[in-house]
Structure 1
Amino acid sequence: MIKILVADDELLARKAIINILQHSDIELEIMGEFDSGEAVITYLEETEGSADILITDIRMLDMDGLQVARLIRERGWDTQVILISGYAEFAYAQQAIQYRVEQYLTKPLDQQKLLDAVVHVIQYQEELATNRTRQVEQKLLEFSMEQLSLQDILRNRKLNERLAGFAPRESAWQNFRVVVLQIDSHDEKKQEIMQSLLRQQAVSPLQLALFYFSVNREWVLTLFGTREELSDKRVSGLMEELFSRIRRLGTIQASAGVSEISTGFQQLYTAYKAAISAINFRLLKGWNAIYYVFPVGSTLSVDLLTEGQRLGIKQALLKWDADKAKRIIHSFFSDKRLLQQQDVRPLYNGIVGILSIINEINQVSIGDDINAKAEMSIFTRYNDLYRFYTIYEMEAFIDDVLENMCAGRSSLAQKTGGIVSRIKEYVKSNYQDPISLQELANQQLFMNTSYLSRLFKVTTGHTFSQYLVAFRMEKAMDLLENSTLNINEIAEHVGFNDTSHFIQCFRKHFHTTPKEYRIQTHQNL
């Protein structure tokens, strides 16, 4: 229901306007009629600007309609003004524009023109409301992207809906491709330059949505269009144009992975993973390049880690000879056949094979001695390659694991701390999900669950469950202080399916409810 005010110092004119409005098909309510501008301002002050439209004559004795329009704008009220004047002078119209008067009508008043003006203002207000909602949704989404990955956002129903809503049109998800892009620097100025380049690229023949996820320091571009518009040739041209700009700068190295065409928003994460699989090829081919997904089954997965290398690594580790093991591993990473591969599976398989040998020796040689476990890595999926920018980083990572295992046996704190640090990092990245120490032990660290539980308790002074709950509560506290998410959304954000259980945990941890904490925090600001 649209709330309307009518102001004119002539009673008959005022009643005529009201009669036209009340006999129209527009759903409206006349909130008040006034014979002076001052009376209008007094009403708006008392009701805090609670009127959608003011229809006012421009000439009134105490305060004219232009002055009323100026005061409405100065005080920040959302009331839209329709001015009626007996003068079609340019100076009046010019002032009306200055005060953002939405419609300017001249006397004698035409009934249809008045109704058309009201409808126009209603449509304008609806557009404003939509834009404001979109801006709020954008801010909430941007806040979430500072803390969460794309996978985390897609797991959250409300964030999922917000993300889907940023397509240029509702049907855009019918055909789309995902591009994941990173630069090889964490420097903020270079990140800003890249952001600027991508925003310029947004003005392109293709419609796209651009998001930046701080967790992985990645830009995710979603390209929308027909299958012809999203063809390899069209997308390749668009990406080459972007990368030619990047190369001309000479200060930034970038790499990008491009998915195949997908259909339906529910396929967004699958397309994102495909783009990551493509960008991982930079480990073999280098940066400043665009990589595309190879068709499934286009190449066979070759195992380039030979049986001789496996046996050599194992024998070296049984003698705690890290240098010899590193030399053998280096021979794998420097194998020229790696550069000839058409995807990263041979590299991934070799890395998993090396880590499996390290883990096997670790378990056999040290057993269940809580004081002698070496650091092990969390590396179980193709996407784990995404953490590394170059193959040299990948090799250095494995060398570090070997050093900690062999040379660090005498340094108990360093060894146990390494495992615990890995667990904490995993919690930091996955606290929104239902995780358990058993899952970590069996699927991530390949270790005995009981042993891992004792190790974590001895090192931190807390059980894994206590640590996980405490971490989630700290995240919840931060969201209560710095976001506009409601309690249900925050509970879901930090890994609770049951809001009541979340509130109980929060009260137990902080001796207050989430609602009380938010009120108290805002009062102290």
Structure 2
Amino acid sequence: MKGTVLIVEDQPNFREGLKFFIRENMANWTVIGEAETGLEGWEKALALKPDLILMDIHMPVMNGIELAERIHSHGLDTLFIIITGFQDFQYAQSAIRYGAMDFLLKPCSDEDITRILGIASKKLQAKRRDQQTVREHLLRSILLRVQMNQELTSHFLRLFEDSQLWLITITDYCPEGKNYGADDLYVLQYGIYNILQELALAEDAGAKLLILKEDQFILSVSSGLATTCWRDHAELAVSEYLGITIDSTLLGSSTDIDQLVSAYADYDEQRVLPAKLMPLTVDHTGKPHTVEAVKNEIMSLIISGDLPALHDYFEKVGGQAASLQLTDGKILVINHALALHQISEVLGLFAQQGKPAEPPLQAVDPLTSSPELKSWFKAAYQDFENRMDRWKQQANPYVNSIQQAIDYIEEHYLDSELTIKQVAEHIHLNPSYLSTLFKKETGETFTGFVTKLKLQKAQVLLRNTDLKISEICQTVGFDDSTYFSSVFKKHFQVSPSEFRQQH
């Protein structure tokens, strides 16, 4: 999917040149608008919502710095690059504090434009992946009733705007005439996802396809989607290519969250899963016991929000496994480990943290004693609890104190008097607690993080300008150029001058 560009530039020849170059040479970008003044650029940015804005620093009515400040203060979710001449570069540097990702210096070569738009493309793809993850976390939190509060619902309404949400369910991953096995699940899911995504995007209806569970997707679309036509095409394509049938049903508008939750619950209650999708184990009494039943028991504790009770449940299972004959204990542990794995799949806990290297059955089979078994299960459920904790923070970015702290630091890092106490006061935390939490979550001290941020900004200036190193040092907040060079080399393994030569 191409990124969209808005060009805000008052020189017609330069503006036309940029448009032509992007159209002819940049397959990942398309120009959707242009403006001659900063004010016109601001109005078009609000109307068109571009992924990237290329803005000149000198424009009538509102200059580039003022436009950058307005974008920043209004929280407009767009990347932007400042176009400037060398003589104005020191003035243009103030745009860094407003979130400018880079600078394009006039006169610029084709290589300069290609390089900077290539960097922007990578940033946009990363941002889209992050947004996809957040949307999926929010969907799972709300529709699966794992977590819901006013902040989450407000964030949901902002991300999904005024969309229609469709639930798409794979009725059977193992149709007659196909030799699909458990190992094919992820390949099939990926294939179905690609088919649905391609068809939805072809309708140009602001479509977003998100994974809710391993056999359910949510399609978020604007009201312009030709519903009947799209549904027929989707069902036919998935059946034709994979031999799998899908079922689609309208949940409702994203503006009515209660209706969405109710519609999903009603659908899920009426749905009957094929027995072959439910792996069976046998407990020590010989009674067949589905992993699905264990999963439902754990999910009920998660939904209730009683995490201490969930922890006690895991400890009880571990103790019970240790008290049984080794074989029976292994069956009990594998049963619960598979349930945790499936819940992790449903909630997307593997999305950014990676799956365990070894499946539960292979990991448990070699264990030779009950204490080993209990220890292994303890590590497994603690890993699950840690993933749950991180997932909840990602699902609700407003409760992520560290992200709030980082946002504040990025906005005020040039302030020579910035301290962790100042940051802690801004996000209403005790400074000592924030210091400990910051180190735990980022792996860096507060001072180390600020220093690293300044060095990253220095890289931008070294790569794009002919400013003296002493001038760059002052610009990014270092008082002593010798100290700056020493810290830069220690961090990047090259001196500032060597970095400039390499780039």
Q: TM-score, normalised by structure 2?
A: 0.40
Structure number with larger C-alpha Rg: 1
**Greater relative CO, 1 or 2 (CA 8 Å, sep 6+):** 2
